[in-house]
Chain A
Amino acid sequence: MLIARLKAGGPTLAKQGILVAFILFMIVFSFMSDRFMTTGNVMSVFRQATIVGVMALGVTIVVIGGNLDLSVGSMLSFATVLVVDLHDKIGPELAVPVMVLATLCLGAVNGFLIGILRLNSLIVTLGMLSVIQGLVLIYSGGQNVDIANQSETWFRVFGRGAVMGIATPIILFVGLALFFHILMTTTAFGRRVHAVGGNPVASVFSGIPRSRIVFLTYLISALCVAVAAMILGSRVMGSQNNVGQGYELQVLAAVILGGTSLLGGSGSILRTVLGVLMLAFIQNGLILMGQPYYTQWLVTWAVIIIAVWLDVAAKRGRLLSPIA
């Protein structure tokens, strides 16, 4: 029934499932709480979503390229601890570039192991998750770090600043999202990432430098983590050494919700943004309705499975799996 209607309703509606669900959620929440649809609330949700959001942009590109990145969470811990710790030691002018370079190095290690050596991305990034978490703890000696003089440093602009009334994190997020959207939809690089993820063997036969493309996707992912770490470090002005723990799952949940296929080859940056915002608004809406904080995780569970189920069902043309 449902599938027949999905087919009849045209592939456009089925394809925009996430958008429809997003609008439905927004309407329901607006009715349930009168504070939900206020500018202040929407803006604050947006701002909270930026850290997961920026990382999700990079992971989307990695996933479109046919791989996974589970190491972004501990990489975020690494970058945040590094930038906050170095801020007082060598000043923010140096701390930021050093942190970005160090994070890119970690991304390069991922890219080398997965792109050049062609190792399984799930296991490699799982191993890197553990390695990087260990490195953070060794570096910080298990101590939390913070910035001594929080009000005078210009570093505060990334997390706490605003331009023309719009918070800087939002500007960074939207800017990066638009940049990567254009990169993925209009450039040769974007097409190549799709090709490598869609059919690695065919991409090699077409003369696409598969190793280099995969390597670059991991550099992009690391770069996004570095930006997220700047926002996080600057907002909190301090860092626990496991601050990024569990972020990889929220990021992956947002990417999956955005309809990017874990098989690689298809996905879109803008729909990942929708996925990120949807998770953020679910969290916010449930809290405004007075539900316990962790109810959002239960709802996320259902939303992810239903979203992917409908996606899979629309592709195979029947609701239930044919396997006996």
Chain B
Amino acid sequence: MSMFSNNPALRWLMHNPIWGFVLLIFVFFSLSADHFFDARNLQNIVVQTSTIGLIALGMTLVMINGNIDLSVGATLALAAAFAVDVQSWAAFATWGNWQILPAVCLALLAGIAMGAINGFIVWKTGVDAFIVTLGAMLGIRGLVFVYTGEQSFYAANFAYSDFSMMSLGPFPVLAVIFVLAVIAVHWLLSRTVHGRNTYAVGGNREAAVNAGIRVGPHMMINFMLIGFLAALSGVLLSTQMGAATPNLGRDYELWVITAVVLGGTKLTGGKGDIIGTLGGVLAIGILRNGMNLMQVPAFYVYVILGSILIAVLFLDKRFNRTQNGGLRL
């Protein structure tokens, strides 16, 4: 034990076991999969990870806050549909490449609005976030289907799909956006009053209320942030595809929650951080990418990820017996 506690790197790994796992699979795939340890492929992993990663940043906030958001996949689809559809509206026909701007703004606003609706309902009605966002998950998906008429949209402006190919120096622009978002949310959570209050509300709501923290607005802000991040993720995903399908983002909430829980954030709230979540999404991204390169059928990824999730829960329970890991509903 003393050996561990003396070495700062090892001590850090003890607190963030997911990064040990990330390191392990990274070394494993570098040795056993051709082309894994390749600048192009590593860029690819970050870009692929960014879709789920962006939402996972928001989910970390919401879960630390003691809530959960199941509606992110549907919000992503709604934003993607807006971003691709609005740019072909007749009103913006003469705007040239600028027609993308109102489309993206509207898409992001839609995401924020969906988050605000969820947050407001959770705040004012006192219904549990699980139920509120479960309803929203169905409802927003229904909205997407009604809005799109169950059709896929294709981006009219080629500049839109070119965006995902752009690079800033050696870094793909999508990866840069993701890294910036990680830094921003990490700063928000660890350096601001809102971040500290987010922990306080999730850790002990009674105590937070008694300390004079306004619980409702903090919850609502976090829901709006996750709505924004889900919408951003949807916009970036649709630039990669040059299209938006109404089924986009199905099951993403499951991947996102898996990543966040792998990263050590507690469902009960009050505990977790962005570093862990980053490890969680990278673990999923590297596993999917590496197994793909080793030509393992995608089916096995489901089994392995599900098993890892349950194993992490089991180990967490074994080693943190004092923590009561029950779901608060």
Task: Show the binding face of A for B, using Cβ within 8 Å.
Answer: 68, 113, 117-124, 126-135, 137-138, 142, 245-246, 249, 252-253, 256, 262-263, 292-298, 300-302, 304-305, 308-309, 312-313, 316, 320-324
Contact = CB atoms under 8 A, between A and B. Distances in A.
B130 interface: yes
B131 to A, nearest CB: 5
A119 B132 CA distance: 24
Question: 8 shortest A-B CB distances, which residue pairs?
Answer: A301-B139, A297-B142, A134-B302, A321-B126, A131-B306, A130-B306, A294-B145, A134-B303
Contact of B134 (A131, A133, A142, A256): A256
Given A262-B128, A321-B125, A323-B205, 13 more contacts: A123-B261, A127-B258, A127-B307, A137-B297, A249-B134, A249-B137, A253-B135, A294-B141, A294-B146, A297-B139, A297-B143, A301-B140, A308-B127
B100 interface: no
Contacts of B142: 294-298, 300-301
Interface string B245-266: 0000011001001100100000
Nearest to B214: A324
Contact of B123 (A135, A256, A263, A323): A323
B24 interface: no
A281 to B, nearest CB: 16
Interface residues of B, number: 56
Contacts of A295: 142, 146
Contacts of B134: 249, 252-253, 256, 304
Contacts, number: 165
A300 B325 CA distance: 31
A232 to B, nearest CB: 20
B44 to A, nearest CB: 23
A252 B138 CA distance: 11
19 contacts: A113-B310, A123-B261, A124-B313, A126-B306, A130-B254, A130-B302, A130-B305, A134-B302, A142-B297, A245-B251, A249-B134, A262-B128, A262-B130, A292-B150, A300-B135, A301-B135, A308-B131, A309-B127, A321-B126
A320 B307 contact: no
Contacts of B136: 301
Nearest to A67: B327
Nearest to B253: A126
A134 B214 CA distance: 44
Contacts of A302: 135, 139
B215 interface: yes
Given A123-B313, A298-B139, A256 B306 contact: no
A293 to B, nearest CB: 8
